[in-house]
Every structure is written in C-alpha cells, then in structure tokens.
Amino acid sequence: MKRIVLILIAILISGVCLVSRAEAEHKYIGIKKCSMCHRSDSKGNQHKQWLSTKHSNAYKTLATDAAVETAKAAGVTGNPQEAAECLRCHVTGQGLDESLFESGFSKEDGVSCEACHGAGSDYMAVSAMRDREKAIEAGLIMPTQAVCIKCHNTDSPNFTGFDFDEYYPKVAHPKP
Ligand code: HEC
Ligand code: HEC
Ligand code: HEC
Ligand code: HEC
C-alpha cells in the first residue's frame, strides 16, 4: 500500500514537471518576426497599430525625466531602464531566463506582441497560425482582461485606473 502511494506521488510530481517544462519552452522571438506576416493593411496591419500605441514605447519611457521622478518617488534607486521593479511591466517577458529569448528579441520594443499573445516560437508557423486550436496548444494566448491586469494594476506607480471597455479600443487591432 505504502509503495503504491509513493509511486503515485512520483508520477504526480513528474507530471507537474513535464507540464511546467512544456510551458516554459516556448521562446520569445521578438516583434520583427511577428510583423513579417502582420503588417498588411488588408489584414489590419497589427504592426503599425501597435507602433502607434504607448506599448511600443514602454521601455523608452523609462529613460525620461518622468521615469526618474517616478523611480525616486517609488524608492527605486539607479537607472529605471535597468531596474527590475520597473522593467517587469515595461518590457516583455522580464525576469525570465535568458535562454528563452531568441536573438531577434529586443527589450527596446517594450510591451510587444508576445507580452499579450505569449512566447511565439512554437505557434508562429503558418500551419498553427491558421488553426486557432493548434496555435493555442503551441502557446498562443487570445488575451482577455486578465492579461492586461497583470500590468495595469496598483503596483504601477503611475496607475490611473483600468477599464477594459475604455482601454481596449485604444490598442485593438482587428482584421477589417
Ligand atoms: C509566417 C507568418 C506568421 C508569423 C511569423 C506570425 N503569424 Fe500570426 N498569423 C498568421 C496567419 C496567416 C494568421 C491567420 C489569420 C490571418 O490571415 O491574419 C495569423 C493569425 C494570428 C492571430 C489570430 C489567431 C486567431 O485564431 O484568430 C494572432 C493573435 C497572431 N497571428 C499573432 C501572432 C504573433 C503574436 C506572432 C509573433 C509571435 C505571429 N502571429 C507570427 C501568420 C503569421
Ligand atoms: C505593475 C506594472 C508596472 C510597474 C511595476 C511599473 N509601471 Fe510604469 N506604467 C505601467 C502602466 C500600466 C502605465 C500606464 C499608465 C496607466 O494608464 O495606468 C505606466 C506608465 C508609466 C509612465 C508614464 C506616465 C505618464 O504620465 O505618461 C512612466 C514614466 C512610468 N510608468 C515609469 C515607471 C517606473 C520608473 C517604474 C519603476 C519605479 C514603473 N513605471 C513601474 C505599469 C507599471
Ligand atoms: C506587460 C505589461 C502590460 C500588459 C500585459 C498590458 N499593458 Fe497596457 N501598458 C503597459 C505600460 C507599461 C503602459 C505605459 C507605456 C508608456 O507610457 O510608455 C501601458 C499603456 C497602455 C495604454 C495607454 C494608456 C494611456 O495613458 O494613454 C492603454 C490604452 C493600454 N495600455 C491598454 C492595455 C490593454 C487593453 C491591455 C490588455 C489587452 C494591456 N494594456 C496590457 C503595460 C502593459
Ligand atoms: C496589449 C495587448 C496586445 C498586444 C501588445 C498585441 N495584441 Fe494582438 N490582440 C490582443 C487582444 C486583446 C486581441 C483580441 C482577442 C480576441 O479577439 O479574443 C488581439 C487580437 C489579435 C489578432 C486577431 C485579430 C482579428 O480580428 O482576428 C491578431 C492577428 C493579433 N492580435 C496580432 C498581434 C500582433 C502581430 C501584435 C504585435 C505587433 C499584437 N497582436 C500585439 C492584444 C494584444
């Protein structure tokens, strides 16, 4: 009896490890790769739309005087562009292991496609992209409010409130 319990526990633990490993293995490919296929006007030009939002500027914002003031007030010392306390919401995938970022990825791109849609190395293939179920299995996230609130919350020193119905239209990029 004791042995069966031990075996069951072992199976459970290895199952959990497998699941978390599979999730962690998707890599961040960077905005340029997504945009290769998502910059045609007839399909909504998600690249251009994103460039027009503050998300594309979120890392650069950390170099402004306003950011230095914000950091000071929040008790964060040093350059905000190097402070984990700020980067965690101003750059995609911050804090994750370096091995999860492909060479095309750049933190300069701030809050990029993959901050909302998930790391793209496994869903970027057209065969997955054309089949939502497959893409989601390969890591694609079709974001809801829950994704926004990971960053739009009171941990943000400049939080101005968040209302999905008001904010989402400002960053939406539907196919026409
Ligand atoms: C090789 C081309 C290609 C690349 C690279 C690519 N996509 Fe796509 N994507 C497509 C195609 C084709 C579709 C199908 C819909 C369409 O025609 O726009 C699609 C659909 C999508 C959808 C909608 C899925 C659905 O079920 O409605 C999202 C979201 C998306 N892509 C995000 C991304 C992101 C984020 C990246 C980068 C990590 C990316 N794509 C990279 C070609 C690509
Ligand atoms: C929990 C996520 C989060 C953290 C942590 C965070 N920010 Fe932000 N930051 C945001 C969001 C979201 C906005 C957009 C403001 C809004 O609409 O609430 C923003 C906006 C800003 C702005 C622009 C403000 C304006 O008036 O236009 C600056 C500057 C800024 N942040 C600096 C910082 C600095 C410096 C730090 C570190 C001390 C930091 N942020 C930490 C999420 C965060
Ligand atoms: C990874 C963190 C992150 C996620 C996820 C995120 N945002 Fe943001 N968002 C930011 C930051 C940081 C800023 C401020 C950038 C700046 O001012 O440079 C911002 C700014 C904005 C702004 C501009 C606000 C203004 O003051 O003009 C809107 C609108 C917005 N986000 C909507 C959304 C929506 C809707 C979602 C979910 C679909 C979302 N965001 C998800 C971090 C995030
Ligand atoms: C702030 C979060 C956020 C960012 C950044 C973002 N998206 Fe999206 N995207 C969304 C949301 C939310 C939807 C709508 C999800 C749904 O319909 O269920 C969406 C939908 C899409 C769709 C489907 C459009 C349609 O009408 O079928 C495509 C394609 C897409 N995104 C591609 C991209 C690409 C490419 C980038 C980067 C250039 C990007 N997204 C950046 C949040 C984001």
pLDDT, tens digit (0-9, with 9 covering 90-100), for 6-22: 545 554 444 444 444 44
Q: What is the pLDDT of residue 111?
A: 98
Cβ(99)–Cβ(122) below 8 Å? no
The CA 134 to ligand 1 mean position distance, Å, reads 12
19-23, 73-77, 128-132, range with the lowest pLDDT: 19-23
CA geometry: angle 57, 174, 40, nearest 5 deg: 75
Q: Is the pLDDT of residue 96 over 50?
A: yes
Q: What is the pLDDT of residue 110?
A: 98
For ligand 1, what atom is nearest to the CA of residue 120?
38
Q: What is the pLDDT of residue 25?
A: 85
For ligand 1, what atom is nearest to the CA of residue 116?
35
How far is the C-alpha of 13 from the C-alpha of 101, rounded, in Å?
Answer: 27
Mean pLDDT, the chain, as a whole number? Answer: 91
Please give the average per-residue pLDDT across 70-94, as a whole number: 97
Residue 137's contacts (CB-CB under 8 Å, 6 or more residues apart) are 128
The CA 63 to ligand 2 mean position distance, Å, reads 12
Q: Which of these, 149, 146, 168, 169, lies nearest to 159 by C-alpha position?
A: 149
The CA 90 to ligand 4 mean position distance, Å, reads 18
The whole-angstrom distance between residue 153's C-alpha and the CA centroid of its chain comes to 16
The CA 124 to ligand 4 mean position distance, Å, reads 14
Report whether residue 27 contacts ligand 4, using a CB cutoff of 6 Å. Answer: no
Q: Is the pLDDT of residue 124 over 60?
A: yes
Q: Is the pLDDT of residue 23 over 90?
A: no
Which tokens is 76 given? 């964060």
